[in-house]
Amino acid sequence: MRFTKMHGLGNDYVYVNCFEEEVENPVELAQIISDRHFGVGSDGLILIGPSQKADVKMRIFNADGSEAEMCGNGIRCVAKYTYEHGLAQAGGSFAVPGQQSYPASLNIETAKGILTVGLIIDQSDTVQKVCVKMGQPILTPKDIPVNLTGEKIVDEPIEILGQELSMTCISMGNPHAIFFCDDVGSIELEKVGPAVENHELFPNRINAHFVQVENPTSFTMRTWERGSGITMACGTGACACCVAAVLTGRAEQVCTAHLPGGEMDLNWCREDNCVYMTGPAVEVFEGIWPIR
């Protein structure tokens, strides 16, 4: 089975072109191939296949084999792969309302729905960056889901490992819990991350993010991803952190997220209430995985 290793800001996945390859058991394959000692090594497995509704369809499986609804860094890589490997023809222009316009676009089917992406292509016809229209943030607890009542969860107290923290919860097609702090580097993420992910408030588990806001247009974040652990970046998580920072009065709607793997530009657009995420996508290498 041929595969391609790609990453967005260090958030790395193994990608399989299901136009040409067949994956019979993606749950098992994700666990084996993601192992960083005995496999290829990745945060998970992403399948790129035909779609009846869009240019291509993507499915995401975390390193533990669980299937995720969305992956912001992953969809940028899917867009790059689709364009550069000729799986679909890029469509017309794509624009962020009142902001930048992109001359080429693709539609990608996800478990969240169909998302539109704009491509930044250099003179060698290589995709350097991708802007994704991530859709409107979901704030209602039952739709995130979180076992709390009310219209939204903003600066809600929660006890984690005997300590009371202040939490904001948002879904960008997958669930996120955001915690603002003064020093993101001091957080023992390997301890607190699993405790948040598996807390009884979250019926589908949750992604945990700790955020330090430097100024109204810049913040630094660290992530514990549901099913994958500590990762270098989380695209949907960065979008959720942008929304949370705006809701709590800490940041403006256009800002930059600084992640361990690099920078991501974010825009919670006032015109359509959608979050736009722009960042790089990199193809690392191709290989052949033995089918056992």
Quick one: pLDDT at residue 208? 98
Cα–Cα distance for residue pair 279/36, rounded to 1 Å: 25
Q: Which amino acid is at 55?
A: D
Residue 292 has pLDDT above 80, yes or no: no
User: Span 252-258, mean pLDDT?
Assistant: 97
pTM of the model: 0.93
pLDDT digits (tens, 9 = 90+) for 14-37: 999 999 999 999 999 999 999 999
User: Span 209-229, mean pLDDT?
Assistant: 97
| Contact call for residues 52 and 17 (beta carbons, < 8 A) | no
Quick one: pLDDT at residue 56? 98
User: Span 6-12, mean pLDDT?
Assistant: 97
Quick one: pLDDT at residue 206? 98
DSSP readout, 195-264?
HHHT-TT-TT--EEEEEEEEETTEEEEEEEETTTEEES--HHHHHHHHHHHHHTTSS-SEEEEEETTEEE
Residue owning tokens 């033995």: 290
R_g over Cα of the chain: 18
User: Span 253-264, mean pLDDT?
Assistant: 97
Cα–Cα distance for residue pair 206/36, rounded to 1 Å: 23
Q: Which positions are annotated as active-site residues? A: 71, 234
Buried b (16+ CB within 10 A) or exposed e, 249-263: ebbebbbbbbbebbe
Report all structural domains of the chain as residue ranges with CATH numbers, in order of start: 2-134+279-288 (3.10.310.10), 141-276 (3.10.310.10)
What phi and psi values does residue 246 have, to the nearest 5 degrees?
Answer: -70, -45
Q: Which amino acid is at 133?
A: K
